[in-house]
Amino acid sequence: MSSAILLVGGMGTRLQPLTFNTPKPMLSVAGVPFTEHQIIKAREAGFTEIVLATSFKAELFEPYFGDGERFGISIRYAVESVPLGTGGAIRNAASMLTGSGPVAIFNGDVLSAHDLAAQLSFHVKNQADVTLYLTEVPDARAFGAVEFGDDFRVTAFNEKMENPPTNMINAGCYIFSREVIDSIPAQQVISVERETFPGLLNDGARVFAFIDRNYWLDIGNPSALMKATRDLLSGAMYSAATPVLSDGSFIAAGASIAATAKITSSVIGSGAQIGSGAVIEGCLIGAGARVGQEVVLTDCFVADSAQVESGVIAGGSFLGFPLK
Ligand code: GTP
């Protein structure tokens, strides 16, 4: 039994207006909710149960994922009526796991090709308390910069700072021993990045760095979210959850595309209609949206059921989303 927790309770403020009605992890990426890519990744790495730690718009997850049978993995839901922060969420969700071994924790907004099974083996081999997946970025200022020694023992955890001492960052997937999770105070708001990790280092805990430089993307802002879809559609990143594509785009069942419309690197939601002569490139068109004739859209998000009048030309825009 290998167990995982997926942190999906954040407000996703950087992705507004997309997240006014939809939690960030349920936003469509390459035609399926982002969370589905992570759940399938966990299953492919041999995980058999996963608890979704939900809070903001918690009620939107279960109708889609159910008990997980459709996805080949057991799924349960730990709902926080008040958000408990990343640490509090982990503690709360762990009580719903049936396994008692190490637990993989995923941030709900990271698309990565890192070797999760190897991270778990590395954790077990080192008899670690926590094993952090690290990747290297050109500019670490917006991330947690993590320092470690020749033996891969983590020596310092620096959360978001102006002059980070290293470009190796916390890439948002951890393995925790069960004892460490149980030591997090219950029902309290706790940040794993600001409190748990620095506290563990202070106490001399065995915190290890697992380095993997394969594809990594934080989908937390609109341009990154769009990039995730493009990379999955183009094959620059692989996910077993990406649906079957036609010509590098995903056209959901029930969408109707005029014969003279040109669609490239885009996702067209179910029941959407695309008018004649429209040119759609690198866009996410929501379910039931109606895009008129001769519309030209590049890098746009179109909301579910929105209407884009004929002749509209737009680039990098959000069309049809609520204002708050
Ligand atoms: P921003 O508001 O745009 O920063 O996004 P966010 O709310 O998702 O916050 P952030 O990116 O810092 O969160 C990292 C991960 O932890 C995301 O997957 C969040 O869904 C999740 N998360 C953050 N806070 C909580 C919380 O209080 N409870 C739970 N269950 N998950 C959380």
* pLDDT tens digits for range 115-142: 999 999 999 999 999 999 999 999 999 9
CB atoms within 10 A of CB 100: 10
Q: Where do we find the tokens 């969408």?
A: 255
70-103 pLDDT, tens digit each: 999 999 999 999 999 999 999 999 999 998 899 9
Residues in the chain: 324
Residue 86, phi then psi, degrees to nearest 5: -65, -40
Q: Tell me, what's the pLDDT at 213?
A: 97
**Among the atoms of ligand 1, which is closest to the Cα of residue 24?**
8
Task: Specify whether 258 is located in the same domain as 216.
Answer: no
119 is a domain residue: yes
Name the closest-CA residue to atom 1, ligand 1.
12
Q: Structural domain of residue 309, as residue ranges?
A: 244-319
Residue 125, amino acid: K
Residue 178, phi then psi, degrees to nearest 5: -65, -35
230 is a domain residue: no
Give the count of domains, the chain: 2
Hey, which of 5, 8, 18 would you mutate to test ligand 1's pocket, going by the most ligand atoms within 8 Å of its Cβ? Answer: 8
Give CA torsion, residues 181, 186, 187, 188, to 10 deg: -80
Q: Tell me, what's the pLDDT at 324?
A: 67
Q: Tell me, what's the pLDDT at 264?
A: 93
Q: Where do we find the tokens 């159910």?
A: 66
Count Cα neighbours of 5 within 13 Å in the Cβ-side half-sphere. Answer: 31
Omega before 17 within 30 of 0, i.e. cis: yes
Residue 226, amino acid: M
Task: Specify whether 202 is located in the same domain as 255.
Answer: no
Task: Specify whether 35 is located in the same domain as 111.
Answer: yes
Q: Tell me, what's the pLDDT at 1?
A: 75
Which stretches in the chain have pLDDT values below 70? Answer: 324
CATH of the domain at 290: 2.160.10.10
Q: Where do we find the tokens 């149960």?
A: 49
Q: Tell me, what's the pLDDT at 139?
A: 94
